[in-house]
Structure 1
Amino acid sequence: MTKATDATDVTGVTDVTGVTAQTVGTDAGDARITWHPAKKARLVLAVGHGAGGGIEARDLRALAAALPAGGVTVALVEQPWRVAGKKIAPAPKTLDAGWRGVWPALTGPGLPVIAGGRSAGARVACRTAAELGAHAVLALSFPLHPPGKPDRSRAEELLGAGVPTLVVQGGNDPFGRPAEFPEGDFRLVEVPHGDHGFAVPKRAEITQERALEVVTGAVREWTASLG
């Protein structure tokens, strides 16, 4: 895999599985990209984490395991605040600065890059997609509004992405259930009974494994359809 050479500071370590951990200097501090490479990659899916967790989220791990076989290299991006060990995410403009800072490394392989993220990371991807030239946007658990406050809608961020967009949303997500989303130029896939982290109750008619298959299957089909 070609390494980026135009970032402020780039170092990388590759393990025996081919997974590469790459540190990239940004204006917001050091970020980290964990590359899960496809043997014959045609796209890069770069996915950022949410404000309450990191790249260990179940859906991000599932995508990293499932997509490379289909020619999609998955790059899991850890924001500088997370790399530094802080527990509270910074303001949106700082998150955007961190994402902008890793973009040259993400485009380093010379492939179209899908900007993605879960929760707060999805908002970052939507806000910056047009200016960075993202090929498309993947929004996992897009936080349409704070829980219990539907009047504080963030729909403008989603609708303003300006590129093909896939939203994968839990059916019971308190940050916005699928029925609450406005009409717009995006595709929405529901994970039945899923919460904000795509966790499903034990008594649900869908298993946790199946819920993750809905996520990975939807993303696999959508990426295959992108020109």
Structure 2
Amino acid sequence: MPERALSIPLSDGNAVSGVIHAPAVRAKRSGVAVVLGHGAGGDMHAPLLVDVARGLKDRGHTVLRFNFPYKELGRKAPDRREKLEAAYEAAIARLRKEKPDRLVIGGKSMGGRIASLLAARAVPCDGLVFLGYPLHPAGKRDALRDEHLSAIKAPMLFLQGTRDPLCDLELLRPVLKRLGRRARLHVVEGGDHSLEVLKSAGRTRESVLDEIVAGIEGWLVKRVAGMKA
């Protein structure tokens, strides 16, 4: 089945829900698998995550989206960092059972940040994709969440909107400059923190999504080792 629901066991004896998007058996498979974590206010059914997962699947990549424990229990407040990281590691372990050649981690906002914290402490991965990295809290431009990024050795792709209140691009650009060739920025003109644009921009949601997926695909081909154009 192209999409299949599953249960991901956690180290504390509990489990969280996940969905794997796998290319059709007869489709050309890239050998790349991607884990996508959700943002603090959403869950694995967030439209951006679902659409990106399906778009990447259509391009031959296997994708796993999953819930963090607090969303599995119907709670609004995120779990403590250690619990979020443990759940993300469990999702990585589950996707590795699919035996991919390369593994990319990331996600929307908080999900991407948790992935980056894992990569910074040397959890193995071949790349990171950030769908709206939360560089700072809204209205707090001086409280940057960037110190750990320099410890990440894998290539990183930042997809950021120009209207994102959690990521001032003028603050992000110097961070990426320090990271050098490891980091690439894809700007979604008019995009907010969920990479959605206003109707007045004259663009359809489908065109924006196509841009996002194409941006990820192009980066995967160029920067993730072992892929062929």
TM > 0.5: yes
Query: Partner letter of residue 25 of structure 1?
Result: P
Cα deviations by residue, 1:142-177 (Å, 9 ceiling, x for unpaired):
000001101100012333322111010111100013
Q: Quick check: 1:36 aligned with 2:21?
A: yes
Deviation at 1:205, TM superposition (A): 4.1
Cα deviations by residue, 1:31-84 (Å, 9 ceiling, x for unpaired):
222000023241101100011001222321221221122221111121122112
**Partner Cα separation in structure 2 for residue 123 and residue 116 of structure 1:** 7
Deviation at 1:86, TM superposition (A): 1.5
**Partner Cα separation in structure 2 for residue 204 and residue 126 of structure 1:** 32
**Gap runs ≥5 in structure 1:** 1-16
Greater per-residue helix proportion: 2
Q: Quick check: 1:97 aligned with 2:86?
A: yes
**Partner Cα separation in structure 1 for residue 8 and residue 50 of structure 2:** 21
Aligned to 1:147: 138
Q: Which shifted more, 88-97 or 22-31? A: 22-31
Aligned to 2:119: 129
Q: Quick check: 1:50 aligned with 2:33?
A: no
The count of corresponding residues between Structure 1 and Structure 2 is 211
Residue pair 1:63, 1:74 contacting (<8 A) in 2 also: no
Aligned to 1:186: 183
**Partner Cα separation in structure 2 for residue 57 and residue 174 of structure 1:** 19
Shift of the 179–206 alpha-carbon distance from structure 1 to 2, 3 Å rule, reads: farther
In the TM superposition, what are the counterparts of 1:10-25 in structure 2 within 5 Å? 17-25=1-9
**Partner Cα separation in structure 2 for residue 70 and residue 205 of structure 1:** 27
Aligned to 1:224: 221
Query: Partner letter of residue 76 of structure 1?
Result: R
**Gap runs ≥5 in structure 2:** none
Aligned to 1:61: 50
Aligned to 2:212: 215
Aligned to 1:26: 10
Residue pair 2:35, 2:92 contacting (<8 A) in 1 also: no
**Partner Cα separation in structure 2 for residue 166 and residue 119 of structure 1:** 13
Residue pair 2:141, 2:168 contacting (<8 A) in 1 also: no
Residue pair 2:43, 2:71 contacting (<8 A) in 1 also: yes
Aligned to 2:105: 115
**Partner Cα separation in structure 1 for residue 36 and residue 83 of structure 2:** 17
Aligned to 1:177: 168
Query: Partner letter of residue 162 of structure 1?
Result: K
**Partner Cα separation in structure 1 for residue 86 and residue 127 of structure 2:** 19
SS of 1:168 mapped into structure 2: strand
Shift of the 58–160 alpha-carbon distance from structure 1 to 2, 3 Å rule, reads: farther
Question: Structure 2 length normalisation: TM-score?
Answer: 0.86
Question: Structure 1 length normalisation: TM-score?
Answer: 0.87
SS of 2:200 mapped into structure 1: coil
- Overall identity of the aligned pairs, in %: 28
Aligned to 2:156: 165
Deviation at 1:127, TM superposition (A): 0.8
**Partner Cα separation in structure 1 for residue 92 and residue 45 of structure 2:** 21
Query: Partner letter of residue 34 of structure 1?
Result: V
Q: Which shifted more, 205-214 or 44-53? A: 205-214
Give structure 1 regions of 4+ aligned residues with deviation exceeding 6 angstroms: none
Residue pair 1:31, 1:78 contacting (<8 A) in 2 also: yes
**Partner Cα separation in structure 2 for residue 207 and residue 102 of structure 1:** 32
